[in-house]
Structure 1
Amino acid sequence: MEPVSIPKHIDDPVTLLIWSADEFAPAAFLLILGILIGQVTIMLVLAVVAIKAYRRFRDNRPDGYPLHAAYWIGLLPSNAITIPNPFIRAFYP
């Protein structure tokens, strides 16, 4: 069994059971989808695989990488003046 890190600082991510919140979200989505389509076992297996793949992806990159990647591909729109449009790749004077 792998040791689970317990948050020691206020900046650490929220932990739900043994997963952090960003790992728990895809598992919860797949579980709900499995309940709706009647294939809970298959979706639970896919959830475990998704969590392991996401952990491998997250651990090999700097903190906040998924959030920045989501902004870069346009999944986090914002109307703020200080945040430029993610689809504008070059700025000209």
Structure 2
Amino acid sequence: MDVIDIPRRIDAPRRLLLWTTDEVVPVAVGVMVGITVDRLLLCAAIGFVFVRFYRRFRDGRADGYLLHALYWAGITKPKGHSFPNPFVSRWLP
């Protein structure tokens, strides 16, 4: 039987050690780019600085604010079919 990890709170984000997954991604991307361009410490440091500013941005706003902002900017597309196009400014019957 497989062991299933159950979070303490139902809305708790997934964590990797001490960070949430949205904080791990910039550092991981910085490490990958740093390995590619042979500047690992510099790119990892830039990733850590980005995470620090992202935490300040995220903590002052509601949950999911960044996803909503990306949606309204037209960068992401939700999976559901009931979401309207963010660029439509006029709705006709």
| TM norm structure 1 | 0.83
Question: Aligned-pair distance for 1:77?
Answer: 2.1
Matched, 1:45 2:45: yes
**Partner residue, 1:34:** 34
1:1-50: per-residue Cα shift (whole Å, max 9, x none)? Answer: xxxxxx63132000112110011111111110111110001011101100
> Which structure 1 residue ranges, 5 or more long, are not aligned?
1-6
**Partner residue, 1:86:** 86
Following superposition of structure 1 onto structure 2, how do residues 65-80 of structure 1 map, counting pairs within 5 Å? 65-78=65-78, 80=80
Aligned residues: 87
Q: Please say if residues 27 and 51 of structure 2, whose CA atoms lie closer than 8 Å, have aligned partners that are also in contact.
A: yes
**Partner residue, 1:24:** 24
Question: Aligned-pair distance for 1:87?
Answer: 1.2
Amino acid at match of 1:35: I
Q: Please say if residues 26 and 48 of structure 2, whose CA atoms lie closer than 8 Å, have aligned partners that are also in contact.
A: no
In 2, Cα distance between the equivalents of 1:79 and 1:22? 19
Matched, 1:57 2:57: yes
Amino acid at match of 2:60: N
**Partner residue, 1:4:** none
In 2, Cα distance between the equivalents of 1:50 and 1:79? 28
> Which structure 2 residue ranges, 5 or more long, are not aligned?
1-6
Amino acid at match of 2:76: L
